[in-house]
Amino acid sequence: MQVIQYLIDLGPSVMLPIIIFIFGLILKSKPSSAFHAGLTVGIGFIGINLVIGLLMDSLGPAAKDMVSRLGIQLSVIDVGWPATAAVSFGSTVGALAIPIGLAVNLALLVFGLTKTLNVDLWNLWHVAFTGALVSIMTDSFTMGVLTSIVHTIVILVLSDLTAKHVEKYYGYPNVAFPHGTSTPYYLFALPLEKLFNVIPGIKDWKADPEAIQKRLGVFGESIVLGLILGIIIGILAGWNIQDILQLGVKTAAVMLLLPRVVSILMEGLMPISEAAGEFVKRRFPDRELYIGMDSALAVGHPAVIAASLILIPVSLGLAVLVPGNKVLPFGDLATIPFMICLMVPIFRGNVVRTVIAGAIAIGFGLLIATYASPYFTEAAKNVGFPFPEGATAISSLVDGAVPTTAIFMFAAKLGYAGVIAIGLITLGVAFYQRKKDKQLAQQQTDLVS
């Protein structure tokens, strides 16, 4: 357990280079090339965290002042994902999240039930979170472990399903996002896309960044759009002119810098990705391999950031308007890009559709986070988490409001049968997808011959 905690404490910016280096050696890359790739990935990840940190540090005070100005009084505080991750890994179930994630991933790879090799081990806190909540709900450590196992399977299968969208829209070949926050919203977006396609007005409205820029000219450019949205948020926060303009420039900077630092990370990842593809082709000609990475690679896209900035005041409005909600969005308002980044490819970058879908998801998510709050609060007390001043109950949007949190909590009420049923359904999808891939490979072989 001490070794696992040590790895967790290293953080992703150190863990990822080590994992990428070892993975590169396994793939027969030169040690120097593997080392360079791993170090570049680590540097890219630090860059991403710096820019996201800038976004959080800028929007956090604005969100706080918006809350004060609007006079929103809600009893459950959104403490944000860093606190949620700490509570999750600190739980008794959470301590097993990394070995569970590795074992399940390797097993599914051996049996051909996933194409994703998840190197983003630090983000296994998402499965630790659901495991910890279910363990408290059911007063059963075993139920918590089972939930973590099944949740890992769900994330890997969803990762496979989204990989083609990631490649097509974001341009990342052989990369997938087995991210506990991002992947569930892919399933949320699919039926909404079909609905949007039949609603008059919305179905014909082109609102991707390219269309917006074409329509608005210079005002539609990503950095100018970031400036405008930042200024609007500053005005809603009631700030003075100086602070409003500074926030505007900072959000414009995020729009410009985030794609640049993501490209650094991809510079390190691409040689390993290509080597992995060649390795699999030589040994398993009918198989593909995706490298599972943090969905932070996608959050810098202009459509993601633009929709996220709009959703910040929308989320605060929903907190007041949604009947039964007790959660005050705060800590995770700047993390909304992770919630919508796998919706955006389904909507082909349409910002309007993404905002509408995001608002619906967050509206329901607030109720999920409210329901999860007592268990989350107990989990935090168990690990000695320091509560914010005046707070007696806590929750979060990431992962307290994520659909899989609700699914596993409700399934746990049915006992082992409920959680096992989710696992069997997910494995059924994996078997179906494997069969479909084999048929497609056979058809391509027949065409060549």
- In whole angstroms, what is the distance from residue 358 CA to residue 291 CA? 27
User: Residue 171 and residue 441: Cα distance in Å, rounded?
Assistant: 23
Rounded CA separation 223/95 (Å): 42
Indicate the helix (H) or strand (E) that contains 77.
strand 76-78
pLDDT of residue 5: 63
Distance CA 269, CA 273 (A): 6
The overall average pLDDT reported for the chain is 87
Lowest-confidence segment of 73-77, 136-140, 230-234, 326-330 by average pLDDT: 73-77
Domains: count for the chain:
1
Output the six-digit token pair for 177: 């996002």
Give the separation between CA 317 and CA 236, rounded to whole angstroms: 12
Residue 74, pLDDT above cutoff 90: no
pLDDT at 360: 96
Task: Please tell me the predicted confidence (pLDDT) of residue 7.
Answer: 64
Question: HSE on the CB side for 315, CA within 13 Å?
Answer: 32
Band of pLDDT at residue 441, cut at 50, 70 and 90: low
Check: CB of residue 269 under 8 Å from CB of residue 283. no
Report the SS3 class of residue 115.
coil
| Amino acid in position 305 | I
Residue 197, CA atoms < 13 Å, CB-side half-sphere: 9
Position of tokens 């926050």?
Answer: 181
Asked if the structure places residue 12 within a domain, the reply is yes
Q: How many residues are present in the chain?
A: 449
In a domain, 193, yes or no: yes
Could you tell me if residue 51 is inside a domain? no
d(Cα 55, Cα 336) in Å, to the nearest integer? 11
Confidence at residue 444, expressed as pLDDT on a 0 to 100 scale: 65
DSSP secondary structure code for residue 387 in this structure:
P
Q: Is the dihedral of CA 262, 264, 269, 274 positive or negative?
A: positive
Neighbours of 231 (CB within 10 A): 19
Interval 140-146 mean pLDDT: 95
Sort 385 into a burial class: Cβ within 10 Å, 0-12 / 13-18 / 19+.
middle
Q: Note whether residue 54 is domain-resident.
A: no
Reduced to 3 states (helix: H, G, I; strand: E, B; else coil), residue 326 is: coil
Residue predicted with more confidence, 369 or 269? 369
Any domain includes 344: yes
Contact 174, 291 (CB under 8 A): yes
Per cent of the chain over pLDDT 70 is 94
> What is the arithmetic mean of pLDDT over 128-144?
95
pTM of the model: 0.86
218 has a pLDDT exceeding 70: no
| Angle, CA of 350, 78 and 360, to the nearest 5° | 30
- Identify the domain containing residue 365 by its residue range: 2-44+59-448
Is 313 contained in some domain?
yes
Q: State pLDDT tens for residues 270-286.
A: 888 778 777 777 776 67
Q: What is the torsional sign of CA 250, 183, 276, 274? A: negative
Task: Report the interhelical angle of 222-236 vs 209-216 (nearest 10°).
Answer: 90
Instruction: For residues 350 and 210, give the distance between their C-alpha atoms in angstroms, rounded to a whole number.
Output: 10
The one-letter amino acid at 239: W
Edge-to-edge strand list for the sheet holding 76-78 = 327-328, 76-78, 393-395
CB atoms within 10 A of CB 308: 27
85 within a domain of the structure (yes/no): yes
**118-130: average pLDDT:** 90
Element housing 116 (H / E) = strand 116-118
Question: Has residue 50 been placed in a domain?
Answer: no
pLDDT band at residue 50 under the 50/70/90 scheme: confident
Indicate the pLDDT class of residue 414, thresholds 50, 70 and 90.
Answer: very high
Which of these ranges, 174-178, 209-213, 355-359, 370-374, has the smallest mean pLDDT? 209-213
> Which phi and psi (to 5°) does residue 108 adopt?
-70, -35
Q: Categorize the per-residue pLDDT at 26 as very low, low, confident or very high, splitting at 50, 70 and 90.
A: confident
Query: Is residue 257 within 8 Å of residue 82, measured between CB atoms?
Result: no
| Average pLDDT for 290-295 | 90
Higher pLDDT, 76 or 73: 76
Average pLDDT over residues 347-372: 95
In this structure, which amino acid lies at residue 230? G
| Cα 121 from Cα 109, distance rounded (Å) | 16
